[in-house]
Amino acid sequence: MNAIYIMWLREVKRFVRSKSRIVGALGQPILFLIALGYGLGPVFAKAGQGDYLEFIAPGIIGMSIIFTAIFNGMQVIWDRQFGFLKETMVAPVSRLSIMFGRTLGGATVAATQGILVLGIAILAGFHPLSWINIVPALFVMLLTALLFSALGIMVASQLKDMQGFQLIMNFLVMPLFFLSGALFPLQNAPSALLLIARFDPLSYGVDALRSFLIGSATFPLALDLSVLVFVTMFFLALGSYFFSKIEV
């Protein structure tokens, strides 16, 4: 338990100390909220779909979470290159504790990022359906962050250079984001696109956020939460296995 706490605290401190990283992580969501929320708002309203800012805000929260969480795995490669990972791995603690602590730390940072984006969205004019529903929405943010943090560490444990990790993650992250329904409604999407979205775990995170924050969803809430829990457990188990086999 101490090892998990130490690794969690290390990941959180690393993020807090990097002011440029915090500013950079907030820049893209703010740009999307302003450029798309206000730029496409009139078009969305004329199509009879309501306020686009209200619709897009949960999707942008999901975007900020997946980008921050999944690129947390880059720290594993960084530590491997500078020798810190070797020192950690030879410590008298289980590799499972090290992996889980890193995953939890990355998830905490990503969920905090999502909370900040939610606050910015509210300042920009977003109105949650109920302030009470923000509490379960925070749980969805943490669960989504945990899922993609585990995925990022799982992939990073198999790589040795940051360039390769960035290429693979960009190849994964962009399709996961754009096909999740974060920017467009899935209800009237083509059947082929809807089928692809059903295999995208971010779809269920964004859908659950919309269910809690604006009362609109494509899938049943029980399905959203079940898929998030199952996929998170799967990636944690798979990530733990790969991390236990890592060579330093």
Residue 165 has pLDDT above 80, yes or no: no
The pLDDT tens digits for 188-214 are 778 888 888 899 999 999 999 999 998
pLDDT bin (cut points 50, 70, 90) of residue 138 is very high
Average pLDDT in the 13-21 region? 60
Residue 68 has pLDDT above 70, yes or no: yes
pTM passes above 0.85: yes
The DSSP line for 60-105 is: HHHHHHHHHHHGGGHHHHHHHHTTHHHHHHTSSS-HHHHHHHHHHH
- Reported as type and span, the H/E element at residue 243 is helix 221-244
Average pLDDT in the 97-123 region? 86
The pLDDT tens digits for 212-222 are 998 888 899 99
Count of beta carbons in the 10 Å neighbourhood of residue 237: 11
φ, ψ for residue 133, nearest 5 deg = -70, -10
Count of beta carbons in the 10 Å neighbourhood of residue 47: 12
Average pLDDT in the 112-138 region? 89
Q: Using an 8 Å Cβ cutoff, are 54 and 136 in contact?
A: no
The pLDDT tens digits for 34-49 are 777 777 766 666 655 6
CA distances from 56 to 35, 125, 139, 170 (A): 11, 12, 19, 22
Read off the amino acid at residue 248: V
pLDDT at position 33: 81
Domain boundaries, the chain: 2-244
